[in-house]
Chain A
Amino acid sequence: EAAVTQSPRNKVAVTGGKVTLSCNQTNNHNNMYWYRQDTGHGLRLIHYSYGAGSTEKGDIPDGYKASRPSQENFSLILELATPSQTSVYFCASGGTGEANTEVFFGKGTRLTVV
């Protein structure tokens, strides 16, 4: 089965600090995604990528940057972390971008900003 690995699984950061969440997929999928999950908001798309070197803004990109240096790796960067960014973050990958292509999720990173 398709594998998406996130690191770290848990992170405590200080307000104003820089945080980098990493994601690796071994599925050779073109498309990768970063979502955050909050109670009352479901899963919301932050950034996505069509392939190495590309990053696109999702529905809630403010305060976040993304980097896709290779097909396998996709990072989410919080340059100046704020308590409102406390959340569970999920990375996902999908293949062809067709409607019938399944999107596979990692296990998530729980981020707490204090």
Chain B
Amino acid sequence: QQKVQQSPESLSVPEGGMASLNCTSSDRNFQYFWWYRQHSGEGPKALMSIFSDGDKKEGRFTAHLNKASLHVSLHIRDSQPSDSALYFCAASEVGNYAQGLTFGLGTRVSVFP
């Protein structure tokens, strides 16, 4: 079973609109979350991390974590064409951070004019 699950698989958003992405961990050992973004032909690049309950805002991006349910979301405000990309949720295992991140399957976001 996928330890990190993302939804939806894909999302179309009008330019200037709000995109909302979801992620859930099925393993309570995976509690530290990252959002990565990957543009076509490139490697994934970190957008932001969230480790504590509540909201974390970085520019147009806001992440929300509920540790009780191990649910994390990413909201992209005022979406731009450059936000069109594949978005990954990734989690690290408590006490084993050096062993790398476990990734979800990704959400493909398309921003249309």
What residues make up the interface of A, taking CB atoms closer than 8 Å to B? 4, 30-31, 33, 35, 40-45, 48, 50, 56, 58-59, 90, 92, 94, 97-108
Contacts and interface: CB of A to CB of B under 8 A. Distances in A.
Contacts, number: 68
Contact of B105 (A41, A59, A102, A105): A41
B51 A103 contact: no
A112 to B, nearest CB: 16
Contact of A48 (B49, B92, B99): B99
Given A35-B103, A48-B98, A100-B49, 20 more contacts: A31-B98, A42-B104, A43-B44, A43-B103, A45-B99, A45-B100, A48-B100, A90-B44, A94-B98, A98-B97, A99-B49, A99-B51, A99-B92, A100-B51, A101-B97, A103-B34, A103-B100, A104-B45, A105-B45, A107-B41
Q: Is the interface of B mostly helix, strand, loop or mixed?
A: mixed
